[in-house]
């Protein structure tokens, strides 16, 4: 595949940004709404993404890659505990729109594509690095393994979204969860 021209790259980026916003607000939104927000014709949307499912997969992949990249960036932070808990909070606070995109894919009866799976695996690995660093610094209990902590991340994200927690309530929920992750707690 040859590289895209600059205007085509710009259009693709605008389409992805618009789709993330549109589908993040409503899983049943249309590609027409995406085209309108991106200020391109519907034919331009379909030239880049021949189906709505391909567009949704691209948006989900982009979202996961952005989170993965943020986790990788935070892995070099001087305060591993703050990096871990800050990232955890970010994922939970942004989960509603990500879950809406995943819901739209599910409604389209589509499994998550290979690119999104790879981005998800990369995110999990980068989160594991944040967890390991926070454990080494003594900010997270050593007996908390990645599978259960990642499950807590997913559960907190889905729970906060499912019941529509307001930010202050979400923050108190996270404070309780974090209290259980800190050292000094018995299993």
Could you read off the pLDDT of 50-92 as tens digits, one per residue? Answer: 988 899 889 889 989 999 999 999 999 999 999 999 999 999 9
186: left (phi over 0), alpha (psi -120 to 50) or beta: beta
- Domain membership of residue 19 (yes or no) is yes
* Residue 17 shares a structural domain with residue 104: no
Residues 89 and 139 in one domain: yes
Boundaries of domain holding 12: 1-50
For the chain, what is the domain count? 2
Percent of the chain as helix, strand, coil, to the nearest 5: 75, 0, 25
Whether 127 shows a pLDDT value over 70: the answer reads yes
DSSP code string of 130-167: HHHHHHHTTSS-TT--HHHHHHHHHHHHHHHHHTT--H
155 found inside a domain: yes
CATH of the domain at 30: 1.10.10.60
- pLDDT, residue 45, reads 93
The more confident residue out of 160 and 4 is 160
In a domain, 187, yes or no: no
Closest CA to 26 of 157, 18, 113: 18
Are 46 and 115 in a shared domain? no
Task: Check residue 3 and give its pLDDT.
Answer: 66
């Amino acid at each position: 595949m040859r590289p895209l021209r600059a205007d085509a790259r710009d259009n693709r980026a605008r389409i992805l940004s618009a789709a993330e916003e549109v589908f993040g607000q409503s899983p049943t939104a249309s590609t027409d709404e995406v085209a309108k927000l991106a200020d391109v014709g519907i034919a331009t949307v379909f030239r880049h993404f021949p189906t709505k499912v391909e567009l949704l997969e691209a948006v989900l992949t982009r979202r996961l890659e952005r989170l993965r990249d943020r986790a990788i960036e935070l892995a070099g932070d001087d305060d591993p505990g703050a990096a871990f808990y800050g990232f955890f909070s970010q994922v939970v606070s942004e989960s509603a729109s990500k879950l809406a995109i995943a819901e739209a894919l599910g409604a389209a009866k589509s499994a998550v594509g290979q690119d999104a799976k790879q981005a998800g695996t990369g995110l999990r690995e980068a989160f594991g690095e944040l967890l390991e660093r926070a454990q080494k610094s003594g900010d997270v209990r050593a007996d908390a393994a990645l599978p259960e902590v990642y499950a807590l991340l997913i559960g907190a994200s889905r729970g906060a979204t499912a019941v529509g927690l307001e930010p202050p309530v979400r923050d108190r929920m996270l404070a309780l969860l974090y209290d259980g992750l800190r050292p000094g707690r018995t299993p």
